[in-house]
Amino acid sequence: MELFLQFLSNTGFFLTDYRYLIMMAVGCTFVYLAIAKEYEPLLLLPIGFGVIVGNIPFFKGFGLGIYESNSVLHYLYFGVTSGLYPSIVFLGLGAMTDFSSLLIRPKLMLLGAAAQMGIYFTLLSALALGFMPKEAGSIAIIGGADGPTSIFLTAKLAPHLIGPVAIAAYSYMALIPIIQPPIMRLLTTKQERLIKMPDTDRTVSRKELLLFPVIGVVLCCYLAPASIPLLGPFFFGNLMKVSGVVDRLAKTAASSIIDTATIFLGFTVGASTQGDVFLTPKSVGIFFLGAVAFSIATASGVLFAKLMNLFMKNKINPLLGAAGVSAVPGSAREVHLQGQKEDPSNYLLMHAMACNSSGVIGSAICAGILWSFMV
């Protein structure tokens, strides 16, 4: 009987408390949203299940939890804390990205830069709310709307915040259809939303496609060397894709490699949200600031497009500014849908993808800048 009671005292039922149960409910919600609503299932399913697994209470000192050295989860989590998974994800992203639309419409790259202003506004807000500079930098990068970039920078600056920052970043990316449209509509008139972007006859030559990753990596990484771990693999992946001579490698990077990294990244980030570590007033602040960052990023992209229109003969549809955040391809899809709501014959998708891909580059540069400011 004593043995049975001892066993009972070691079970999850005995060790659980309300914080674990709350986090379990959050995990179940993510899994539900991924499966039933198909909201970013590639991200929310591994993260949601990771949250459930990470919040099963266990016997401390047994080498089971993600924060206990020599546990299996701890070894898998090393890919997050070292910045390994985000770099691998960027390699795959590069191999999946088609820069033709950006090369045809280079001026749209400015919208990708403008949307990064949300990052710096949030940096100031986080400092004002009492976060330390390294924590503020990690929270601010949520405004880039790029999960791997947020995780990478947080792992370098404030590893204790990886859980809340990653969950906030991925949650807001999944909530793009809810967050972005009201901001877009609020800041634009119907006439502006009706602006049609002209099709161009120019086709991108293979030489341009080959030169872009080389020029991009040299310029961006000379400017912000701390972004090498993200932009190096990103442009390398793209060069593999456009070169056409290593199709096998490019396809592997764009499928198996990025999928493997995404699985482990999502699952371990989810598992890192143990109730006792995660449910703190700081996490609430991070979620609040994350929403601010994302909204300001969207707004600054839209407003910058309007500013550009003051000086340009051929007007830009300001909705495109919202695609300057680097949530690929969610924000581009949302911009396209908003444009079509006003005029079903208005096709903004390719233009929005141009802004989106420059947003990826922009947010990685910002991560490099913030990292170099804080060390």
Partner 1 sequence: MYGLEAINAHNGWAMALTGAIIVMTGLTVLSTIISQLHRIIDLLEKRGNKKTLAIDEPAFVTRIQPPPATLSDLSTHVERFHLMTTDAGDSFDLITLHQIFIQNDDPHPHLTIRSLREQGFLVSAGEGRFTWKR
- Point out which residues bind partner 1 (CB under 8 A): 98, 100, 102-103, 106-107, 109-110, 112-114, 116-117, 119-121, 123-124, 127-130, 132-133, 136, 199, 201-205, 207-208, 211-212, 215-216, 219-220, 223-224, 345, 347, 350, 358, 361-362, 365-366, 369-370, 373
Nearer Cβ to partner 1 (227/272): 227
**Residue 213 CB, nearest approach to partner 1 (Å):** 11
CB of 202 to partner 1, least distance (A): 7
Taking the least distance from each CB to partner 1, the nearer of 54 and 290 is 290
Which of these, 307, 306, 319, lies nearest to 349 by C-alpha position? 319
Are the beta carbons of 27 and 48 closer than 8 angstroms? yes
Residue 95 or 109 having the CB closest to partner 1: 109
What the block records as the tokens of 31 is 């899994």
What is the smallest separation between the CB atom of 158 and partner 1, expressed in angstroms? 14
- Check: CB of residue 47 under 8 Å from CB of residue 30: yes
* Smallest distance, partner 1 to C-beta of residue 160, A: 18
Query: Which amino acid would we find at residue 40?
Result: E
Nearer Cβ to partner 1, position 81 or 243? 243
Residue with the two structure tokens 């379990």: 24
Q: Which candidate, 77, 66, 269, places its Cα nearest to that of 161?
A: 269
State the minimum distance, in angstroms, from the CB of residue 339 to partner 1: 12
Of residues 57 and 368, the one with the C-beta less far from partner 1: 368
Nearer to partner 1, 23 or 258 (CB): 258
How many whole angstroms separate alpha carbon 349 and alpha carbon 362?
20
Q: Which is nearer to partner 1, 257 or 350 (CB)?
A: 350
Structure tokens at 38: 């198909």
Choice between 190 and 202, CB closer to partner 1: 202
Distance CA 295, CA 289 (A): 10
Alpha carbon 340 to its chain's center: 25
CB atoms within 10 A of CB 17: 10
Distances (CA, A) of 291 to 35, 114, 125, 175, 284: 24, 18, 12, 10, 11
Write down the least CB distance from residue 118 to partner 1, Å. 10
* Among 323, 317, 325, CA closest to 297: 325
| Closest distance to partner 1 from the beta carbon of 140 (Å) | 9
Q: What are phi and psi of 228, to 5 degrees?
A: -55, -45
**What residues have CB less than 8 Å from 126, skipping those under 6 apart?**
135, 136, 139, 140, 285, 289
Closest approach, Cβ 58 to partner 1, in A, equals 38
